[in-house]
């Protein structure tokens, strides 16, 4: 509910148009009550046919006008709803794309996926129809005023019923908060188990993971059914309570009105008209009770997204953009520690990597070779210390400048969901087909692409599982070369490659070294280590195991 009100406040011009349309809908809505009053008080008493015709034509015109303004209001509400949904979705996705990796990795990927999916799904609660229904709320007092003009006692009865409905709805919302929050936790667990079944299919099958996952899935589904039962019970109870209160209110209005009619203080036509107006005044509260579950789920989803946005900062788009990059790295007392890990990877790590050097980073598994390359690439910030590139702190460098000058091959290559051509164009704009083919030849991936039926139009998923691991690494190496920057950061460039692939990498490294590029390579490959001008053994540099 609060989210919808915030949306309306952020669009004052659209809100004004929406309220105008709602005002016309509610003004014209009085026509049916007035029609009933005049028919019973005039036509039935005097039987003048012209009166019947005039009143009937008038009320039909009012009903047609009300329909037109309802359609207009729905269109205006749709504009507000869709614009806000698109803006929030783009903003949230953009934040995920630009958030620092170390910040993003503090949350499980499944939790973030569930959060985005929940926001997208629960945005339906803030749809046009519901916004239009909420726009009727300010005019409840208008109907109450009209009833007051007809009969003060009936207005008092309507007001009491209205207050009872408001209290009932508020209490129901409070009771629904806890189970809806539990439902969000179940949704995250469901997403995690489903991701495991799909992304670790080989391990699930070969290492007998079926039994464990089925047990956990059963537990989650039982929790889901239990929580869903509680939520549905509360939602049904709120709806039933609202309907009961409205029905009792109708009885109260008729009962009190009947006494007033007998006493001569009210006529029958006014009683029936007041009853119709009371129904119009109470209808929005019944609608709110019906939507309580959807509103509460949407509120939690939006709150989770807003909290995520507050705790995650997007990387700055500005910074030092000096045209030249020489490739001279200096690390001064660098500490790196992953969130939740008691032992740091690096403690007071100081390095000097001169321009044009061939630096090999080695060390046991878990010593931080890949993390060091992430730090040098600016993808991860050190906990303490400084990382300087050509004498300038890496944090001061503009992200776009880093990407343009630093080629990077990750240990586990991933791709953008799209064609192979789109992946190269995203890495380096303006690449021609000939330039891409040259990169593929250099990385030893040209034959695979040439023999594939789709060629450069080959569709890649984010993890590239549709292509062999060795080919995947060659394609990632070709993409790393696309920037043609003075620095190459290569993480295990020969792992998973056959003899032909490793020979292509050796040849490439020799060529890059001759051109004066700074090569920083994480590897245990003895052939690469032989040609190194500098070897950094992280096992002897204060790195944690």
> How far apart (Å, rounded) are the C-alpha atoms in residues 148 and 196?
63
Q: State the burial class of residue 332 (Cβ atoms within 10 Å of its Cβ: 0-12, 13-18, 19+).
A: middle
pLDDT value at residue 466:
79
pLDDT value at residue 164:
92
The pTM score is 0.71
Q: Which residue has the tokens 């001759």?
A: 514
Pairing verdict, β 384-389 and 358-362: unpaired
pLDDT value at residue 545:
29
CA distances from 351 to 51, 329, 361, 455 (A): 98, 8, 11, 43
Q: Which residue has the tokens 């620095």?
A: 487
pLDDT value at residue 541:
61
pLDDT value at residue 519:
94
pLDDT value at residue 544:
38
pLDDT value at residue 308:
81
| Residues facing 520 on adjacent strands | 359, 489
pLDDT value at residue 507:
92
> How far apart (Å, rounded) are the C-alpha atoms in residues 302 and 300?
5
Angle 173-179-180 from CA coordinates, rounded to 5°? 70
* Domains of the chain, first to last: 81-126+136-311 (1.20.1560.10), 329-540 (3.40.50.300)
Chunked mean pLDDT (size 10), the chain, 545 residues: 68 84 90 85 77 89 92 85 74 80 75 76 72 84 90 93 89 85 83 81 79 89 90 86 90 93 89 90 83 76 79 73 83 82 80 92 87 88 88 86 89 88 88 91 91 90 81 92 90 91 92 92 92 88 44
Please name the helix (run of DSSP H) or strand (run of DSSP E) that holds residue 228, with its range, or none.
Answer: helix 210-262
Q: Which residues of 461-487 are buried (b: 16+ CB within 10 A; e: fewer)?
A: eeebeebeebbbbbbbbbbbbbbebbb
Averaged pLDDT of the chain: 85
pLDDT value at residue 36:
85
């Amino acid at each position: 509910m609060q989210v919808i009100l915030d949306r309306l406040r952020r669009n004052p011009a659209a809100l004004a148009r929406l309220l105008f349309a709602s005002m016309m809908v509610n003004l014209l809505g009085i026509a049916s009550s007035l029609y009933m009053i005049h028919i019973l008080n005039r036509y039935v008493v005097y039987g003048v046919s012209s009166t019947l015709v005039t009143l009937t034509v008038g009320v039909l015109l009012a009903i047609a006008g009300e329909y037109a303004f309802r359609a207009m209001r729905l269109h205006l509400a749709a504009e507000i709803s869709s614009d806000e949904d698109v803006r929030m979705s783009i903003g949230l996705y953009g934040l995920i794309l630009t958030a620092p990796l170390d910040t993003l990795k503090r949350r499980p990927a499944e939790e973030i996926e569930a959060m985005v999916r929940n926001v997208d799904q629960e945005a339906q609660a803030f749809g046009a129809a519901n916004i239009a229904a909420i726009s009727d709320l300010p005019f409840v007092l208008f109907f109450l005023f009209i009833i007051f003009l007809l009969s003060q006692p009936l207005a008092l009865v309507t007001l009491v019923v209205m207050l009872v409905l408001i209290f009932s709805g508020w209490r129901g919302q409070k009771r629904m908060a806890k189970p809806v929050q539990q439902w969000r936790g179940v949704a995250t667990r469901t997403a995690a188990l489903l991701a495991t079944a799909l992304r670790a299919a080989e391990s699930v099958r070969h290492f007998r993971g079926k039994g464990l996952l089925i047990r956990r899935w059963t537990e989650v589904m039982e929790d889901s059914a239990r929580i869903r039962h509680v939520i549905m019970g509360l939602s049904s109870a709120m709806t039933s309570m609202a309907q009961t209160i409205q029905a009792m209110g109708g009885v109260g209005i008729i009962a009190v009105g009947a006494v007033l009619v007998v006493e001569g203080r009210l006529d029958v036509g006014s009683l029936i008209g007041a009853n119709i107006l009371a129904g119009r005044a109470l209808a929005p509260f019944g609608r709110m009770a019906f939507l309580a579950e959807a509103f509460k789920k949407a509120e939690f989803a939006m709150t989770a997204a807003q909290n995520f946005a507050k705790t995650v900062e997007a990387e700055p788009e500005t910074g030092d953009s000096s045209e030249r990059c020489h490739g001279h790295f200096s690390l001064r007392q660098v500490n790196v520690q992953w969130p939740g890990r008691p032992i740091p990877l690096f403690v007071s790590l100081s390095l000097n990597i001169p321009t044009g050097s061939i630096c090999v980073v080695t060390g046991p598994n878990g010593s931080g070779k890949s993390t060091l390359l992430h730090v040098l690439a600016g993808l991860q910030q050190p906990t303490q210390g400084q990382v300087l590139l050509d004498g300038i702190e890496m944090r001061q460098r503009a992200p776009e400048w880093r990407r343009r000058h630093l080629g990077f091959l990750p240990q586990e290559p991933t791709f953008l969901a799209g064609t192979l051509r789109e992946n190269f164009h995203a890495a380096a704009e303006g690449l021609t087909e000939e330039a891409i083919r040259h990169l593929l030849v250099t990385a030893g991936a040209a034959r695979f692409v040439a023999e594939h039926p789709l060629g450069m139009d080959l569709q890649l998923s984010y993890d590239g599982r549709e292509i062999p691991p060795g080919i995947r690494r060659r394609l990632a190496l070709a993409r790393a070369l696309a920037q043609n920057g003075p620095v190459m950061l290569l993480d295990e460039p020969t792992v998973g490659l056959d003899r032909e692939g490793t020979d292509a990498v050796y040849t490439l490294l020799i060529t890059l070294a001759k051109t004066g590029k700074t090569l920083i390579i994480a590897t245990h490959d003895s052939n690469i280590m032989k040609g190194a001008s500098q070897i950094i053994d992280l096992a002897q540099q204060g790195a944690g195991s």
